[in-house]
Amino acid sequence: MNKIPLVNLGLNYMRLRDEILSIFDELSKKGAYVLTEEVRRFEKNFAEYCGTKYAIGVANGGEALFLSLKALGVGPGDEVITVPNTFIATAWAIIAAGARPVFVDVREDFNINPLLIEKAITSKTKAIIPVHFTGRPAEMDPILDIAKKYNLHIIEDAAQAIGAEYKGKRTGTFGVLNCFSLHPLKNLHVHGDGGVITTDSQEYYELLLKLRNNGLKNRDECEIWGFNSRLDGIQAAIADLKLKHIDQWNRRYIEIAEKYIVELSPLVSVPTQESHIKSVYHRFMIRTERRNALQQFLQEAHIESKAHYPIPLHLQECAKNLGYKRGSFPVAERLSDTILSIPLYSELTDDQANYVIEQIKNFFNNQ
């Protein structure tokens, strides 16, 4: 068996190679690069896909969060509640806006624990950013109830969750502003970086169009101090092409994930499946106290795996001034010591998935 990488972007490219090369050639000949018709078409189609009125293409998922916070007026002296077991971009966006991230521990499904949110709310709290970790939606109903009770904004971090659903409703539709990433490691990705914000608010939509483009009202008039965070035309066209395939690709993610769950559940902790939640398994995480030994074993069997993420945000060097310490968020800390992501992508073959399963079984049965 050849090496099985955790992801295989080359295979995804080869599926659509001719169409992608045609896009690049056509737009390059036209010189269509910045805020082109391709961007507007992708934004329209992405909004329709999610079920919102508007979508705004931006430079990346982190800036989608940052611009959303700026649009909502979040700044110095404010607090934003989120989780400590996410990628650093969720927190740096809060810091960059001038606010303070306030962490809340997670449940066993890796997502924010709604039962712990209220005790973290203060007079300075302005927003909650639930993260749909690994492509599994957070438990949104109680989060929305808390936000309504305390008059807080919800910003979904749906970076990993394009196409996921909570009670039949797609992610990217629950918050006043909702953020996606088009990073190459996401289910829907471009050839570089990219991000999208969705909203039903015309006011925030029009504001974000200016914020992402230096505050410009038009070519010559600048109404506000903005930022340079635009989605390139070529990237938008590639994303629009791939958007047509995302449901098919997600079905393959789910098919492989269900095979993993059945075969591996006697040996390791696997994601739970609930009728009201549709996960798209951006990452398939197993959990075992023997994580490090298993990872080494898989490496020797030519199977790539990674921990996402081995150091929670509150224990990162950059977060020292937030005042947290080891033990502040015991569930997130325990998960970080036991999680392991194994290969899962739409191009993974049945033989490869079976080999991954076989080797994990070999590890536990031969020890």
- Please, are residues 19 and 241 in contact by the beta-carbon 8 Å criterion? yes
- Residue 1, in any domain of the structure: no
Regarding whether 229 and 321 lie in a shared domain, the answer is no
> Average pLDDT, stretch 127-154?
98
Regarding whether 14 and 74 lie in a shared domain, the answer is yes
Q: Please report which confidence band the pLDDT of residue 32 belongs to, taking 50, 70 and 90 as the band edges.
A: confident
Regarding whether 259 and 237 lie in a shared domain, the answer is no
Regarding whether 57 and 173 lie in a shared domain, the answer is yes
- Residue 238, in any domain of the structure: yes
> Average pLDDT, stretch 28-42?
95
> Average pLDDT, stretch 131-155?
98
User: What CATH number should be reported for the domain holding residue 319?
Assistant: 3.90.1150.10
Regarding whether 147 and 294 lie in a shared domain, the answer is no
Quick one: pLDDT at residue 194? 98
- Residue 55, in any domain of the structure: yes
Instruction: Indicate if the pLDDT at residue 295 is higher than 90.
Output: yes
Mean pLDDT score of the chain, rounded to an integer?
97
Regarding whether 304 and 254 lie in a shared domain, the answer is yes
Instruction: Indicate if the pLDDT at residue 12 is higher than 80.
Output: yes
Regarding whether 88 and 205 lie in a shared domain, the answer is yes
- Residue 359, in any domain of the structure: yes
Quick one: pLDDT at residue 326? 97
Q: Of 243, 271, 293, which residue sits at a domain end?
A: 243
> Average pLDDT, stretch 211-228?
96
Task: Return the half-sphere exposure (C-beta side, CA atoms, 13 A cut-off) of residue 63.
Answer: 21
| pTM of the shown model | 0.97
Q: Of all residues in the chain, what percent carry a pLDDT higher than 90?
A: 98
Neighbours of 203 (CB within 10 A): 9
- The predicted-structure confidence for 151-183, as pLDDT tens digits, reads as follows 999 999 999 999 999 999 999 999 999 999 999
Q: Of 243, 272, 294, which residue sits at a domain end?
A: 243
Residue with tokens 């033990």: 327
- The predicted-structure confidence for 54-92, as pLDDT tens digits, reads as follows 999 999 999 999 999 999 999 999 999 999 999 999 999
DSSP string, 100-150: EEEE--B-TTSSB-GGGTGGG--TTEEEE--B-GGG----HHHHHHHHHHH
Instruction: Indicate if the pLDDT at residue 264 is higher than 90.
Output: yes
Instruction: Indicate if the pLDDT at residue 186 is higher than 80.
Output: yes
Regarding whether 166 and 150 lie in a shared domain, the answer is yes
Per the structure, the count of domains in the chain is: 2
- Residue 3, in any domain of the structure: no
- Residue 23, in any domain of the structure: yes
Specify the DSSP class assigned to residue 321: G
Instruction: Indicate if the pLDDT at residue 366 is higher than 90.
Output: no
Regarding whether 216 and 250 lie in a shared domain, the answer is no
- Residue 4, in any domain of the structure: no
> Average pLDDT, stretch 111-121?
98
Regarding whether 178 and 64 lie in a shared domain, the answer is yes
Q: Which of 308, 190, 197 is nearest to 243 (CA)?
A: 190
Instruction: Indicate if the pLDDT at residue 144 is higher than 90.
Output: yes
Neighbours of 102 (CB within 10 A): 19
Note down the domain range covering 136: 9-104+112-243
Q: Which of 31, 80, 35, 86 is nearest to 208 (CA)?
A: 35
> Average pLDDT, stretch 12-21?
97
- The predicted-structure confidence for 330-349, as pLDDT tens digits, reads as follows 999 999 999 999 999 999 99
Regarding whether 172 and 316 lie in a shared domain, the answer is no
Regarding whether 210 and 86 lie in a shared domain, the answer is yes
User: What CATH number should be reported for the domain holding residue 180?
Assistant: 3.40.640.10
- Residue 177, in any domain of the structure: yes
Q: Of 243, 266, 287, which residue sits at a domain end?
A: 243
Quick one: pLDDT at residue 1? 72
